[in-house]
Structure 1
Amino acid sequence: MRDLNIGTKVGLELLTDKWNALTLSNLTAEAAGFMVLREKVRGISTLKLLTVLAKLEQLDLVTSTETYEYGLTATGVKLQQDLANLEAWGNRVITEMGAE
């Protein structure tokens, strides 16, 4: 492979921003209020969280209500599962490196 394909580039761009990954990790399919999410994603400013949510909604990963509640779409749930698998892989690598 000489270069990453466009899909890989989009996925990596999304996940290399820690706020995207942390926001996705703290959402569920059931909508929760903005302030509840704001408390879960520690260290993020209100403006940055709103920006991240808007981007994730544009990518059809997050849905919102008129009362500022946010939840994962079916696509968002799938990506959240993929993130959990990536985390598990990373944890295995770290454990194996420590065992050497």
Structure 2
Amino acid sequence: MDPELAALVVDARFEELGIVGAYTAPGGEPVSVRVFRSRDEDTAAGFGESRPLVRAVTVQVRASEASPAKGGHFDIGGQVMRVEGQPRIEDPARLIWTCQAVPV
């Protein structure tokens, strides 16, 4: 797919269906973003030698709006979630960050 067309499709999808929120990088200021948030799911969290299950969500944000990092926070509808693990870009056009986040 043409990169410009891919960007138009992604932008239209986020503008039409995305949820307004904010992202704050570690030590940074909040920036307004539109995100997609998945339903809660159980994921293993590192805690010393044990790996307890915690309730996590998948948050997707456009790369043009934010560069999420481990330890950053999303505020979506008043719910604050901390980014766990390294965010990754999985889409072929490299336009969308995918993050695992846990409620704070």
TM-score, length-scaled by structure 1: 0.28
| Higher helix content, 1 or 2 | 1
TM-score, length-scaled by structure 2: 0.27
- Which structure would you say has the larger Rg? 1
